[in-house]
């Protein structure tokens, strides 16, 4: 049977990770992998996470299944974190939440729910978008289409083109929007643009699907949820996929959530039954460990405050690296303008260099990034930023 299979190319980011790991150059820099790193180039365990984990393990009395929806307390706190604890959709019983195996699990479960309820709907995704979006949706049987989002040459959002393309969407189509810290370009909608999008979605009866994996890494927890909350306030239906990998540093624990807002409490009950059925047929029950850590933090005011301070420190460090990279490149005398970098949000940015220049950075300087020139800002630190700035300036000038 398996003789019929054909080998598939390696994921480009995972391939880069292996190449960088095997590179003997002591000056090598990994700007490809999308995980947070501190100034020592290490991805640490947050102090709040470590303390919550110890607290959770000391009080745990069972390893019994937690059910398809996962932990009720986790779902309560994640909904509160994203929407606000007093949001009308929660009070009106229009929201159903389920803990998932990471943000990827949330995306896949939501995609299968969409295919079950509206198989003819098109999923509109931004150009560019996270590399795993289209494969995940396509594997669930959805038809995808793209809308223009980022102009790599002008270093700005193509908002008018985005609106014009979404005018072509048909009633009932799904529009995937990055809640904050757009991956891969780092360019986020402003508040006025979010309102314009809300008006278009409502007028055309399109369903927003918010993927929010970086809440707290842009402008702050509440600020980063602005667009999501605006749409939840103004539209009758909505889908949300969230992840705790980045803002809690729980990458390997695979902790996420899917949420669906329905037009009424009665409709929400039907949605919930189908969502649980989709989950049951996929992975049956989500893992408990990561969610237990998150709920322990968010259910304890002192741990919550500790976590918020640590998350703020992460945000400040990333923003500092953005500013310093732009400044250091300019200080080399480079005539190419990189002042757009500090204006973007979150862990990622497009440098706007060519694939050939990306390869030159890798081959001549052991600086690793994907061919699109997307870099993980968190891969920069005070020890390598001058080296990276000089290398970028050199290949751009060449």
DSSP label of 258: E
Q: Which residue out of 37, 155, 246, 345 is catalytically annotated?
A: 246
- In eight-state DSSP terms, residue 2 is G
Catalytic residue among 30, 37, 124, 130: 130
Question: Nearest to residue 185, comparing CAs of 360, 36, 370?
Answer: 370
Query: Which residue among 30, 173, 211, 224 is the active-site one?
Result: 211
- Whether 219 sits among the annotated catalytic residues: the reply is no
Question: Residue 375: helix, strand or coil by DSSP?
Answer: strand
Q: What angle in degrees, to the nearest 10, is found between the helix axes of 191-204 and 159-166?
A: 10
- How far apart are the C-alpha atoms of 349 and 186, rounded to whole Å? 5
- Catalytic-residue membership of 320: no
Helix H or strand E encompassing 178: strand 174-178
**Residue 175's beta-bridge partner residues?**
124, 208
- 216: three-class secondary structure by DSSP: coil
DSSP secondary structure of 80-128 = HHHH-TT-HHHHTT-EEEEEEEHHHHHHHHHHHHHHHH-TT-EEEEEES
Of the candidates 117, 132, 152, the one whose C-alpha atom is nearest the C-alpha of residue 268 is 117
Give CA–CA dist 68/43, Å, rounded: 31
Active site (annotated) includes residue 211: yes
Task: Report the distance separating Cα 179 and Cα 133, nearest Å.
Answer: 14
Rounded to 5 degrees, what angle do the CA atoms 154, 156, 158 make? 100
Question: How far, rounded to the nearest angstrom, does the alpha carbon of residue 25 sit from its chain's CA centroid?
Answer: 31
Distance CA 127, CA 147 (A): 6
Residues annotated as catalytic (active site), given as ranges: 130, 211, 246
């Amino acid at each position: 049977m398996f003789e019929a299979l054909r080998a598939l190319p390696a994921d480009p980011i995972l391939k880069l990770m292996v190449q960088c790991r095997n590179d003997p150059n002591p000056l090598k820099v990994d700007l490809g992998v999308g995980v947070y790193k501190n100034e020592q180039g290490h991805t640490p365990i947050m102090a709040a996470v470590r303390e919550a984990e110890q607290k959770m393990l000391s009080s745990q009395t069972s390893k019994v299944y937690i059910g398809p929806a996962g932990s009720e307390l986790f779902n309560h706190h994640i909904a509160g974190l994203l929407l606000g604890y007093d949001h009308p959709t929660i009070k009106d019983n229009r929201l159903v939440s389920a803990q998932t195996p990471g943000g990827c699990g949330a995306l896949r479960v939501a995609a299968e729910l969409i295919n079950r309820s509206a198989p003819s709907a098109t999923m509109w995704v931004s150009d560019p978008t996270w590399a795993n979006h289209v494969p995940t949706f396509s594997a669930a049987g959805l038809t995808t289409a793209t809308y223009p989002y980022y102009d790599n040459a002008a270093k700005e959002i193509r908002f008018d083109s985005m609106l014009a393309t979404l005018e072509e969407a048909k009633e009932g189509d799904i529009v995937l929007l990055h809640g904050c810290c757009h991956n891969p370009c780092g360019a986020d909608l402003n508040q006025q643009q979010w309102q314009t999008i809300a008006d278009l979605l409502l007028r055309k009866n399109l369903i927003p699907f918010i993927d929010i994996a970086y809440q707290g890494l842009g402008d702050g927890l509440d600020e980063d949820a602005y667009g999501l909350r605006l749409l939840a306030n103004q539209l009758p239906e909505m889908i949300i996929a969230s992840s705790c990998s980045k803002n809690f540093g729980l990458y390997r624990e695979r902790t996420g959530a899917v949420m669906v807002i329905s037009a009424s409490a009665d409709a929400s009950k039907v949605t919930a039954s189908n969502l649980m059925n989709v989950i049951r047929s996929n992975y049956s029950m989500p893992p408990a460990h990561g969610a237990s850590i998150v709920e322990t933090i968010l259910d304890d005011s002192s741990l919550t405050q500790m976590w918020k301070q640590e998350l703020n420190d992460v945000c400040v460090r990333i923003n500092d690296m953005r500013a310093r990279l732009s400044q250091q490149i300019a200080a080399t005398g480079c005539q190419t303008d990189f002042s757009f970098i500090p204006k973007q949000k979150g862990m990622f940015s497009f440098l706007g260099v060519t694939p050939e220049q990306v390869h030159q950075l890798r081959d001549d300087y052991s600086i690793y990034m994907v061919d699109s020139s997307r870099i993980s800002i968190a891969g920069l630190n005070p020890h390598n930023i001058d080296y990276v700035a000089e290398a970028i300036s050199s290949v751009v000038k060449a």
